[in-house]
Amino acid sequence: MTDGPLPSTMEEALAAPPVGFTCPRCGSAAEARSYGPCQRCRDELRSFFVGTARDVEVREYEPKMNVTPNAVALKDD
């Protein structure tokens, strides 16, 4: 489903001017050198994955969180 031939090299792809297309995610007009989610959707997707990674990290550290309040309380005394 392409309008023209795909660039065969990375240099060709980078040299290609931005093309207008409809964002496959939000459906709004986008402009980029390659077809895909628009810049806004990319930012949203990035923050989504970063948020997911952070969420997992927090869950992994939860056992340690139970220890920290006691240590802080002892320091305050």
3-state secondary structure of 14: helix
The HSE-up count of residue 51 (CA atoms within 13 Å, CB side) is: 6
| 25 touching Zn ion, by CB under 5 A | yes
The residue (of 22 and 52) whose beta carbon lies closer to Zn ion is: 22
The Cα–Cα gap between 14 and 32 comes to 11
Residue 41 interacts with Zn ion (CB under 5 A)? yes
- Shortest spacing between CB 75 and Zn ion, in angstroms: 49
**Residue carrying the six token digits 């305050």:** 76
Smallest gap from residue 47 Cβ to Zn ion (A):
14
Q: Which stretch binds Zn ion (CB under 5 A): 24-32, 45-53, 54-62, 69-77?
A: 24-32
The helix/strand count (H/E) of the chain reads as 2, 2
Question: Residues interacting with Zn ion, by CB under 5 A?
Answer: 23, 25-26, 38, 41
